[in-house]
Each structure stands twice: as structure tokens, then as C-alpha cells.
Amino acid sequence: MTTAVGHVPSVVLGVCSFTHDSAAALLIDGELVGFVEEERLSQQKHTREYPRQAIGWLLEEAGITPGDVDAVAYNFQPVRYLAETPAALRMALSGTTRSRAVQRAAGFAKVAVRTRRRLRRLAQDFPHARVTPVLHHRAHQLAAFTASGWEEAAVLVVDSLGERQTTTIAHAHHSARPRLSMLEALTDPASLGYVYGAVTEHLGWRRGDEEGTVMALAALGDPARFRHVFTRAVRTTATGFAVDSAYFPPRVLTSGYPRTSPRFVVGTCPARHPDEPVQEVHQDLAAALQERTEQIMIHLARRARLVSGSRRLCVGGGVATNCVSIGRIIDAGIFDEVFVPPAPGDAGTAIGAAVAVHTDSGSQRPLSGIARTCYLGPSFPEPELDLTPWPGLKQKPLGADAAEFLADQLAHGMIVGLFQGRVEAGPRALGNRSILASPLEAGVVERLNATVKFREPFRPFAPMVTAVRAREFFTLGQDAPYMSMASQVTDAARERIPAIVHANGTARLQTVTAPQNPFMHQVLGAFARLTGVPVLINTSLNVKGKPICGTPEMALDCLANSGLDALLLEGRWITK
């Protein structure tokens, strides 16, 4: 676990593993070789397993072996968990938290020990590397800021838990040689991610996976019904917010402890079983949760503006995937521009942790390959396609006019999977692993949900649009390259493409430029010439419960086992 004195590590492997969303990133002399989430290769969504395939691909891509790795950066610091023990025991002094005080203290101590064990495991796999644990929120901060490419910005990170921290505000400078100043921090149990996950579970969906479903459901409900509950349960303070343990009992890092209290249930509704139908009360509960989340996020953004003095904001952490909240921050005009990286959740901390070690090493090499990039994973430019395992599929090669051909098929109502180039970073489909459809087709949303994605009928679908024509249909007023911001829509959008407008009058758009994704820009241009509309529906190439397809085999399975009409896989048109 040590390197020679004075040695500056040039090969740094960043790892997110053993919790959820395992991923790996590799920096060589400050240049990002690549980044990929293990689920895109293993087919296990949100996997916590050691990212063996991701690391294997990175080493192969760089032409190196485990023995060539100088430093391994891990995205948690074990010692930080131990600081919670005395704080947890103090909870025994309160009647509302007494029953969990000892278990909470024991749970945090156990995770500290477990994290140390994980560091030793990494040291065994990389015998010549120094293994460095990185503060979780610092990894989030660096991942968000370096991806922005900005020279200066406030950085707001909001998640469920990183060691003890749940919300941090920092001021950052020089994204190629990042320097961070931590300004403020909130610790658990003041956790917005914890509250959102608790209510997601209460409503019958998987915590840590289906919060987006609850965000979509919120658009159908009336927040007034349970507004008073969340106003009391999540109170704003001068420097952030506090969570009332009478509604959301303190977290215990072992299973079997409910995250909502009897008081919460009495004030709202009984827990919904996943097989039960969604009722009006569930819609209203989701709406109240979402409303309070947006209010807290705007409050935190104002605080970040005040304490940093910056006119730009980077947002990271799991709550940054709540695109409606990000849109509300933009609409509030607090900052001139807001940025969310393509992988704002824990997977992206693999990049941030590697950046931290590179920066702390004293290396004079500036960072490269991180700013404004999202296509960072494996590619399969000329796959050998043996369709024998999928006897119903047939293929034909397309020529140079593939973009025109695809646009024409979409204009005629086909729903098509697209597999091209490198795998995207993060949870959104950004045009390389996408399902595309025309927003002009009648019933397209219902068909996508029912026969292609196999998910709830109220789930909306995101539009992608050429950046130069985005203002004709969307009011956001800034680029949204990573589909991380919900925008209000114009009258033209309501009239011409209502399929992309959600019940709350917003759409989670992606703006596309030619340098960003040349092929998708061509497709959008061709579709616009055919239909007059430079907008397509874009959703991820997967079905519910499965990760985005990272390999050709996964994409072919998706075509064969869903209502997709066709798949364009690296220039080959594959149909059933």
C-alpha cells in the first residue's frame, strides 16, 4: 500500500465498489482513459460487486497490467464513519431517537471496519499501488466540477449519505488543476436523499433505483394534501435543512429498520405493496415529497450562491438526478448557468476519487478528457454478429446514408434501438445506447411504456433536440447535453409534439450539437427535413429492471425480448 518516497503516481485507478453502482475510471498522466459502470458489462443493475469487467477493460484499453497501477483511489474514507459513534450515542438522550442510538453507533462502526477490509482487498489486487480512501463528497465535488470545464464555480452536492455528510457546498477553481474550498456541510440525519428514498420505498418502489418513478408520479398529484407533513418533517434552517426524526427515524446501517415512522403513516397513508394499484393518495404523497424536495434544493442553491459568491453552479450527488429540481433552480435565476455531470451519482465518484489522488500527488500534469465528455465506456466498432442465439433476427449493412435511413424509418412510425460508439456515462440515454421514436406518432408514449420498456403508464419520455433550435420548443435558456434538467415548454411544443410534455408541463430535454454527437445530430437534421420538427423521443436502450445495454449481446436481447421494431447496431440494421 505504499510507493517510493517522492514518487508521483501517473497511473491512477478510481473505484466505486462494494456499495452500489460499481464503476471504475483510469487516469494516466492526468488524462482520462475511460470510465464505465460495471452494470453495463455484467447486466446486473446497480451492482455492488467489485467492478472486475470495468477494470479489465480499462487496463486493456491502456495496454497495462495491474502491476502498472501506481495508485488506487477509493470513494469512501473508513475513519470518517467512526466519528458518528459518539454522535449516535447522544441520540439516547432523546425519546424519539433513543431506540436506535446503540444500533446506529454499532452500524457506523461496522461499516468503518468493513471499509478498511475493502481497502486491503484493493491493495492485494494492485500490488505496487498505494490505496487511498477519498472523502465521498470530495469525490462528488471533483467529479462535478472537472466535468464542467469551468474556471470557477460553486459546487453543491446532495445525496443520501457519504460517510457522515449528506449535503456540502464548496467553491472550486481551475477545472484542469482543481482546487476546492469546502464552505459548509450538513451531516446525517439531515439527508434529503434518505427522505426521498424512504418515501419511494413507502410508495412501493425500490429505494435507490426507482426514485425517478416517484418524481414522474408526482406530476399527477396534488401536493397540498400532505404539504403540512413535509413542512414539519423537513424544515429549512439558515444554513440548510433538518429532518424530524419523529417522521423519519435515524438511519441504521443494517437492514430491518423502517425509514418511516408510525407518525408518518398516520399523517399520510399505509405503505403501498408493489402489486397494489396506484391510487390518488399515492400521487398526492409523491407530489408533496417532490414539492418539498424542490423547495429545499432551491434553498440550498441560494445558500451556495451566498457563501461562494459564484455565478455558476455545479450540482452532484444522487439528488442531482432529480431533473425537475435542477430545472427549478435554473428557472429561479439564482445562477447564470447550472451544470450537472453525466454521472452525478455514486458511480461518477470513481472519476472524482481518481482526480483527488492525481491532484493531491503534486503532479504538474493538467487533467484532460473529463470536461464536457460523456461517451467514456467501451465501444464495439466492428462486432462479429452471430445471430444464432436470436433465430428470429436478421441483419443487413447500411452505408453512408445510415442517418437518413434511420430518420426515415422513425418518421414512418418505427421504434428503433440505437447502439453506436462508446458507452455513455451515467443513468441517461445520450444517443449512443438509445431507443428512438417520433414524437409525432399517435399513441407513441403508451406503446413505448406498454410494449417496449414494460413500465408504468405515467412515465414520460425525454426529447432530444438540436441545440440551435431548442428555444423553439423549450424555455430552459441553456444547453442541457446530459438530459439532467427539466424545462418548461413553449406553445409550439404543446401544439406540435405534445407526446414529450409531461403532466407538469415540463420535459427532460437533451440538446445535441454536431461536435457532441455527429451521428445523432445528422439524424435530427434529417428528421427535421422530413417532418419539420428537429425533436425525437429518446429513452435508454433497456427494459425496466435491466441496465442500459453496454454490449452488442445485451442490445440484441433487448430487441428480441421487447416491442422494438429494429436495432441499428454499428451500421447494421437488425429486424425481427
Q: Are strands 11-16 and 71-74 parallel, antiparallel or unpaired?
A: parallel
Structural contact between residues 17 and 50, judged by C-beta atoms closer than 8 angstroms: yes
Given this model, what pLDDT does residue 5 score?
A: 44
Look at residues 251, 250, 285, 288 and name the one whose alpha carbon lies nearest to residue 268.
285
Intra-chain end-to-end CA distance of the chain, in Å? 53
CA–CA gap between residue 287 and residue 276 (Å, rounded): 19
Low-confidence ranges of the chain (pLDDT < 50): 1-5
Mean of all residue pLDDT scores within the chain? 96
CA R_g for the chain: 23
Q: Check the CA dihedral 445-451-457-461 and report its sign.
A: negative
Distance between CA atoms of residues 76 and 349, nearest Å: 9
Which among 431, 440, 448, 396 is positioned nearest to 562, based on CA atoms?
448
Report pLDDT for 255.
85
For position 462, what pLDDT does the model report?
96
Cβ distance 274 to 201 under 8 Å? no
CB 317 within 8 A of CB 169: no
CA–CA gap between residue 289 and residue 286 (Å, rounded): 5
CA distance 171 to 303: 12
Q: Strands 572-575 and 566-569, how do they pair?
A: antiparallel
Assigned C-alpha cell, 462: 425525454
Cβ neighbourhood burial of 92 (10 Å; 0-12, 13-18, 19+) = middle
Q: Which residues lie closer than 8 Å to 329 by C-beta, 6 or more apart?
A: 297, 298, 301, 313, 315, 335, 338
